[in-house]
Structure 1
Amino acid sequence: MGIFNNKINITELYPKGFVDIHSHLLPGIDDGAKNIEDSIGLIERMHKHGISDFRITPHVLGGVWENSSTTIKEKEADLKKALIEKGYHNVNIHAAAEYMLDDHFSALLANNDILPLKDKYILVEMSFFNPPFNLDDLLFQIQVKGYIPVLAHPERYNYYHDSMAQYEKLIEAGCLFQLNLLSLTEQYGKPTTKIAYELLKRGMYTFAGTDTHHKRHIHLMNEIATKKNKKLLLPLLENNIKTFSF
């Protein structure tokens, strides 16, 4: 009785004006949308869920996806043009990046070659195997440059799962946490889901994003559409609106 009565339509989950600040919707630039048709298809599906505003974040990762700011902005222009041609005049997109905290990022930061989500906020991530040895210095340098690091999906870093103190240390170092909504589904496994809810209940997240790469991700998002999750997530989703609206 409880779980079924608790379900809501996915369109009820997102408050009006919600801005997705983490997705991989630019065509052919990383492990997300494969081409412009794929990009449009993903955005169409998300639009039906009630999301019209996107701050898109392709990977920037040394040796794998060394996407330049120029290339990212070129893909953004292509996608904007295609959306207008399809009649999506009420869809807003802005291309930023999801930066791996590595040597490549350090060089970009030193050269002031950074695409923020908006204003001074930049989306960063770490390896899923271990944190960078110079993590404290990297976070310090980000802030010296006048930026605020928004750490993508902290719940997915398994090496922190046994220590809430490590998460607290990251926040004390100036990180804001961004929850992957997909972490509340089966996508990344039960340990990740457990930590995500723990961080949620402790009020340690500031923002949320979908981290959409493909159609399955969008389909999975229906699983989180419950009254309980809506109550837990509303402060984060509203923070997205207040901070990242167009």
Structure 2
Amino acid sequence: MSFFSKLFGESAPPAEAASLAALEVDMHSHLLPGLDDGAETPEQAVELLRQLQGLGYRKLIMTPHVMGDFYRNTPEGIRGALAALESAAAKAGITGLELDCAAEYYLDEHFGRRLEQPESLLTFGGARRLLLFETSYINEPFNLNESIFNMQAAGYQPVLAHPERYTYLYGRFEELERLREQGVMLQVNLNSLAGYYSGGAKRVAEKLIDAGLVDLLGTDTHHTKHLDTLRTKTLAMPYLAKALALPLLNNTL
């Protein structure tokens, strides 16, 4: 029986089938402890690393929030937290798991100033300079198009985090199509497929997958509840197989 037959058949999947190894790389998580609303302690972070490795990941690109005066994370602070977590992981006996960092930038009045100072931004994907950003979930940012243009003009590849969660875009799917045509990569959260955030997010995620508009999948892990949902619900969702069949970029990072 094939992997996907086991994973998505009528019977409960065996433990060994619960793997996201095909993705290889998770490029959106909040595991670096003490930097945002994700892991609070090194011990919590190490446990999350173990669980993600158990799900099949070989590399984790951790992306703490950078948001106005609330999460005032800097590249130096983020890299320092990464080095500390690498040390804690090694002491805990975790091997074969590559750790890296970038950031998730909130599109606010501070972002434009950061864009003018390249040393203040953390990207992923090497020379592709992928820049992960998010917006308000409710209010459409007035400077969205301008910010995208400025990112591209500065040599960055914009990646919009979890577009399925922005309620201001509900009923406006053509706007997501336009953003993709404009050159913005779209990253869907895996747990959206299980309705973890809302029924609306689930529907938009499925529609994005059906339209082939998803470039990256991320766990957006903050805590163990996210991984519990991933194991017990998301892995059994039929749309996961559809998503994994897309030409995703995760395993190229």
Instruction: State TM-score, norm by structure 1.
Output: 0.92
Indicate how the Cα distance of structure 1 residues 136 and 100 shifts in structure 2: closer, same or farther if over 3 A, else same. Answer: same
Does the 8 Å contact 2:23/2:250 carry over to 1? Answer: no
Deviations 1:4-61 (A, max 9, x none): 6165357544234610000000011000000111100111112222223100000000
**2:214, 2:93 → 1: CA distance?**
35
Greater CA drift, 54-63 or 169-178: 169-178
Equivalent residue number for residue 43 of structure 2: 37
**2:10, 2:79 → 1: CA distance?**
44
Give the alignment of 1:221-236 within 5 angstroms. Answer: 221-222=230-231, 223-226=233-236, 228-236=238-246
Does the 8 Å contact 1:181/1:210 carry over to 2? Answer: yes
Equivalent position to 1:160, from 169, 177, 185: 169
Runs of 5+ unmatched residues, structure 1: none
User: Percent same amino acid among aligned pairs?
Assistant: 34
Does the 8 Å contact 1:8/1:227 carry over to 2? Answer: no
Indicate how the Cα distance of structure 1 residues 142 and 21 shifts in structure 2: closer, same or farther if over 3 A, else same. Answer: same
Does the 8 Å contact 2:33/2:45 carry over to 1? Answer: yes
* 1:116 corresponds to 2:123: yes
Equivalent position to 2:72, from 66, 69, 75: 66
Equivalent residue number for residue 3 of structure 2: none
Indicate how the Cα distance of structure 1 residues 237 and 174 shifts in structure 2: closer, same or farther if over 3 A, else same. Answer: closer
Matched length: 241
**1:196, 1:238 → 2: CA distance?**
14
Equivalent residue number for residue 191 of structure 1: 200
Instruction: State TM-score, norm by structure 2.
Output: 0.89
Runs of 5+ unmatched residues, structure 2: 1-7
* DSSP-derived class of the 2:216 partner: strand
Does the 8 Å contact 1:139/1:149 carry over to 2? Answer: yes
Deviations 1:152-204 (A, max 9, x none): 00000011110111111211222110010011123211111111111111111
Indicate how the Cα distance of structure 1 residues 110 and 88 shifts in structure 2: closer, same or farther if over 3 A, else same. Answer: same
Greater CA drift, 11-20 or 100-109: 11-20
**2:121, 2:136 → 1: CA distance?**
19
* 1:241 corresponds to 2:251: yes
Equivalent residue number for residue 59 of structure 2: 53
* DSSP-derived class of the 1:94 partner: strand
Aligned partner letter, 2:244:
L
* DSSP-derived class of the 1:30 partner: coil
Indicate how the Cα distance of structure 1 residues 227 and 192 shifts in structure 2: closer, same or farther if over 3 A, else same. Answer: closer
Aligned partner letter, 2:122:
L
Does the 8 Å contact 1:186/1:193 carry over to 2? Answer: yes
**2:163, 2:130 → 1: CA distance?**
16
Q: Which has the higher contact order (CA 8 A, sep 6+)?
A: 1
* 1:141 corresponds to 2:141: no
Does the 8 Å contact 2:214/2:248 carry over to 1? Answer: no
